[in-house]
Structure 1
Amino acid sequence: MIAPLTTSRTRTGFTLIELMMVVVIMGVISATVLPAMGNVRAMREGAARDDLMRFIEVTKGRAVASGMPHGLQINLSDSSLTIVKITDAGAVEVELDPLTNGDRAINLSSLYSGVTLTDMINGNGAGGSGTIWFDYESNPHTRSSSGVFLSLNSSIVSIAVSSGEFVVVHPYSGVLEVQY
């Protein structure tokens, strides 16, 4: 009788079907994840726009709550926002955050990579970096660099974000709007 030849060697490794399944799964994952990666920039730009609007609303709220004019300094060179106020003595100073006791300021380009503020037109028609001021009734107005009242805004304030969106502050009411 002839005994069957047996080997004690067992095969290890992956079958062709297992390898094909891995390739299919990787293809499905890449087809769903890669398009979402393109949305990351749009999400950062939207968050920066929302922070800009939030800072404008906080500035208006501080002016109403304190009864003293408050402004939002917008610096286009570094995309920073700083809340300032007029003191009882009439001087312009940076508003302090009551929680951190630091300046109430934010730098959008450092928080949101690739996002910048590209342009600003103030309510008096002046372009470039500037300050949007609000009085105790939330009326937007302009002041000199030393804080002296000049006039109520007769035209909109427009701030452009690198996404192509504009945050607009309407004259007399201070109502905010996003324009695309």
Structure 2
Amino acid sequence: MTVSSPFPFVRPARAAALAALLAAAPAAFAAAPPLLQPARLIAAAPDDANDAARVLAARRYASFWNSGDPDLARAALAPDFVDRTLPPGRIQGLAGALQASRTMRAAVPDLRCEIQQMIVAGDRVVVHLRFRGRFDGRFGTVEGSGQAVDFIATDIYRIAEDRINENWHLEDNLGLMRQLGLVAPTG
């Protein structure tokens, strides 16, 4: 299903009630950055409350990567979150995700993320993300010169109790390293 409603996983009557509830939310919630919407959402039961909670957790985590807001990561990740494909040098858990975000934002201050597609199946959510920005900062010892950065990542989340408990991910790190000038282009 292609997403067109601000609440793609909720029936229209329930969406109106949810919109009214959100409109009455405290001002503190209004200051939070908006959550990213998937360009394409595929779910067997999009009206199911469990699927809706899984979609919400995945949207919060993608929105964290888009904005760098650590509150979104805290809301998305379980206290015992485990990264099953932990890159060398990254610490486990929430602290590792926050560290990775700070590192990327130091290199690409205008980093933006979009959810190209999201697939919900049981307790798993697969998210295909695209990241873009300009390398105007510093990555390790390398200083950027404003070159464009554009790479993809695919994550598989296991979600329980409305939070991401485990993550398996694959990023186009070779493409990113080439764009940052850390690896020579082929050809």
The alignment's TM-score, normalised by the length of structure 1, stands at 0.30
More contact order relative to length (CA 8 Å, sep ≥ 6):
2
The alignment's TM-score, normalised by the length of structure 2, stands at 0.29
- Structure of larger gyration radius: 1
